[in-house]
Amino acid sequence: MKDFISKYLGAAILSGVIILTIATVFRNHLVYEAPDVTTINICHWQLETGFRKALQKLIDEYEKIYFNKHGKKIKIIQLPIGEKGYTLYVNTTIIGGTAPDIIEKAHAKIADEPAYIARFFVPLSRDLAEPNPYNEGTEFEGVPWRETFFDGLMSCYNRTLLDYYKVPFSMFTIRLYYNKDLYKKIIGKDELPKTYGELLEVWAKIKEYARKTGRPIVPIAGSKVQSDIFGYKFLPTFFYTLNRKCDYDFNGDADRYEAWRAFKEKKWDFQAPQLISAWQCMSEMAQNFQDGWVAAQRDDAAFMFVQGRSVMIASGSWDASSLIDQVGDTFNVGIFDFLVPTEHPIYKKYVKGQVSEATTGGGIPWSITKQSKNKDICIDFLRFCTTKKNNQQFNRAITWLPIIKGCKLSDVLIPFKPEVRGFIGSFVFEISQEMRLRAQGDKWDLFSGRISPQQYGEALQEIFIRTGEEGYLDTLDNDQRNGRNIDRVLSSYIYGWGEGTKQEEKKATESKIIQLMSSVQGHAANNFEREKMFEKLKE
């Protein structure tokens, strides 16, 4: 017997595996590729169990409804891919012609650059302008699908291609989570601070408590990710006045060209009080993170908070469910909004309000690939998922913010409601690659107090002056290529212009040509003006 096992076990296992493989192939073929089954693949990088389960629930319901409606079988398969391999997967499958029908649009150049988007993804403006048939009998009956989203889908509008290429399921905002019990114990009351100054006092009290009691407690759990969250919320508020001074084209942003031009016109430099104050404020807040926070990962920070070693943590609504679950009954979690220094004696000169969340939206954006043979079913599925009932059910299951009007937030998410009062716009001075690397690299030294804001500014100014012209031209070259790429799309429409017999199709082509001509005109005007400005101001 022993001899028999040692002689044939390997072969038996091999045969078993082969039989199993063949059986699996046959099973898959019968289930997914049988002639009477239409298969739709949908890929994403959300590996959270709750997400997959919630999406599967929608899929199961849709498959049943589709069968009842059309008498045809349909199978929607989720393809969850890890975050690290996602870019590779999306890029290679799209280029190789084997892309899934629907993909979560993120992390890949192909999903981001206008020329690729136009080439590989289905424009959705026409479908979004029609009512969602699954809304029949509801308050949204007859309402264009686009208008059923909280933000009218403004966050998903592609300003280069002048069209929509994605449909989101959720939206996200960021807030401060805090340990209610520990807060009360240290501060002696439940009331939260109302101003930035009061927040600093709270943090000082927490530090004092830790020093006195010898307990390893810090005001905020920090990591580079947390620091960036503070940066996202605070820096634009300081840059706002500078932004408006340099925003020559009134699009809300002071881009690299405008920042360079304004620098040459001596409207600002790297010792500008707006910049110095912003960096000072960031550095001030980072003093309340734990020692060595620069080396900590996002998970380390979350772990500190969950273990009660920090009173607060900055994070997004996407973390609500996992943080609250991990804390369990250990303590009560509270959530409140960031307090920007509008009343601070120095900072208030520049900080006029917080960053607006009016255009919040666009989380979990789904795009349909042009390669899909079942575009209509894909659109129908996305419509099914974005009814008020289904969107609420999906987001409740994973404790995320729904994106369809009329959906109610669960109690825990109420503090995450987007705040429409505030300003938009960015001030981008990272004009060259060296500038980007240095600004990013030195920022950790700045926030952790190793260098002063003035030193940081001096270093950046030296690089800005030395690499500015080269960076300006590189950026211009890139934008000219982007503009040229829009022309590649326009040519394709000009080729089909006036062809075909259906009046509706002809009109749609013309409408797209007008949009693309508008984009081409905008790019050409901007790039011409940038060239002209460079010639005028270069040394």
Partner 1 sequence: MRFINLFFALLMLFISFSSFAKTENPLDVVNKEVAYLNYNKSAKLAEQVRLKSKVGSDEWLKSTLALAISLHQCQPDVKSEKIRAAKLYQEIIDNSKNKPIQAKAMLLLARFASERDYLHDKSDKAKSRELYGRIIKEWPGSKLSDAAALFKAQLDIYSTNKAEILKGINFTLDWIKKRPTNLFASLQYQLIARAYYRDLNDPLKSVEYDLEAEKIGLPPLTQMDYFYWNVANVAEIGGQTNIAVKYYKKVITDVVSSGFAYESQIRLKELGITPPELVDPFAEAVK
> Which residues here bind partner 1, judged by CB under 8 A?
118-119, 125, 150-152, 154, 157, 159, 162-164, 249-252, 352-353, 356, 358-359, 370, 402, 405-409, 414, 417-418, 420-424, 484, 487-489, 491-492, 494-499, 510-511, 513-515, 517-518, 521, 524-525, 528-529, 532
CB 496 to partner 1: min, Å: 6
Q: Least distance from C-beta 467 to partner 1, angstroms?
A: 23
Q: In terms of CB distance, is 436 or 484 closer to partner 1?
A: 484
CB nearer to partner 1: give 151 or 380.
Answer: 151
- CB of 456: closest distance to partner 1 in angstroms? 29
How far, in Å, CA of 85 to CA of 311, rounded? 35
Rounded Cα distance between 87 and 520, Å, is 29
Q: Which is nearer to partner 1, 57 or 417 (CB)?
A: 417
The answer to whether 40 touches 18, Cβ cutoff 8 Å, is no
Quick check: helix, strand or coil at residue 467?
A: helix
Nearest to 187 by CA among 167, 208, 206: 206
- Rounded to 5 degrees, φ, ψ at 134 are -75, -5
> In terms of DSSP H, where are the helices of 310-387?
320-327, 375-385
Instruction: Rank residues 297 and 511 by Cβ distance to partner 1 and give the closer one.
Output: 511
Q: C-beta of 329: minimal distance to partner 1 in Å?
A: 26
Give whichever of 119 and 309 is closer to partner 1, judged by the CB atom: 119
Distance in Å, CB of 304 to partner 1, minimum:
30
For residue 535, the minimal CB distance to partner 1 (Å) is: 8
- Cβ at position 419, least distance to partner 1 in Å: 9
Alpha-carbon dihedral 472, 476, 479, 483, rounded to 10 degrees: 160
Degrees (nearest 5) of the Cα angle 120, 123, 127? 145
412 Rama class: left (phi>0) / alpha (psi -120 to 50) / beta: alpha
Query: Please, which residues have CB within 8 angstroms of residue 220's CB and are 6 or more apart in sequence?
Result: 176, 203, 226, 285, 288, 289, 310, 311, 312, 313, 314
| Closer CB to partner 1, 277 or 395, in the complex | 395
Closest CB to partner 1 among residues 194, 481? 481
Interacting residues of 344 by C-beta distance below 8 A, sequence separation 6+: 196, 197, 351
CB 438 within 8 A of CB 460: yes
Q: Using CA atoms, how far apart are residues 10 and 236, in angstroms rounded to an integer? A: 65
Minimum distance, C-beta of residue 98 to partner 1, in the bound complex (Å): 15
Q: Which residues is 326 bridged to in the sheet?
A: none
The smaller minimum CB distance to partner 1, of residues 273 and 522, is found at 522
109 or 466: CB nearest partner 1: 109
Rounded least distance, CB 509 to partner 1, Å: 10
Residue 416, CB-side half-sphere exposure with 13 Å CA sphere: 27
